[in-house]
A and B are shown apart, each in its own frame.
Chain A
């Protein structure tokens, strides 16, 4: 059964006001910016944003007023440093942030994926991150005497949104590059939106099952959206648009500047196609693959 939807329909149907939304799970790669921008255009409100690090997408959602609270290890602009909407929201508006670490975000999602209430870890013993933080509970190992550990509470996002290179119409998806916590996030998600650069026939997926990171039965919607991760990179499709991250940093230092940026790049464009047109053909061409690098053939024969 085809689950192909437009981005507009997928976000309208699957992201409700007040939802816990996990996105940006592959860290700096394949960040679902097009989906995030559609969330902004549809004026979704009171979202809890979940991710390990967020390289400016959370900042945009916060600036647009979509977020109520954040569950993350790091929110900023990776090459430039701080992200200003996040800072304004926390420093001036008292937005709630549940601070985790990268590893404990992975553990929380993995616990959710496994259907257990928590997973134990030795990280963050002695760190203030755990203080007054309901994601952490001090426990003793049941198997060794006096072995303290942190139990990290399971996270099951209402919606997990990921970007991949290719998927079939049912949501079986191939991805290559770094995964971060995407596989855990998809398994933990109550609903899943897969955004793909390309929709392919099922035979393409089953020709290389080791590259399948998402089985379609976990997926609620598949969206075909070329350049949907810009300005983050998609291996084999386009590189990182470093200038865009620099410009975002420069153009969002004040609330008024940030509003203008959102008007120009999000609310002022209808969809990703219009966004790419605004970016301009030269820039898009410049970001494209200049030298292909194909992997060695893989023989699944027997």
Chain B
């Protein structure tokens, strides 16, 4: 196991490359999901929607 992580003496370069890549991708996943949740929240509480939903109810009646 130690040999695996040592990467034949190139551990610093390999793990800095893979580590930063993982960090950046995880950061993007977190921010993209947060942006989607925020957009969904805004859509749910948009005043225009309240009006649209009201109009739909009237249509249904």
Mutual binders A and B: no
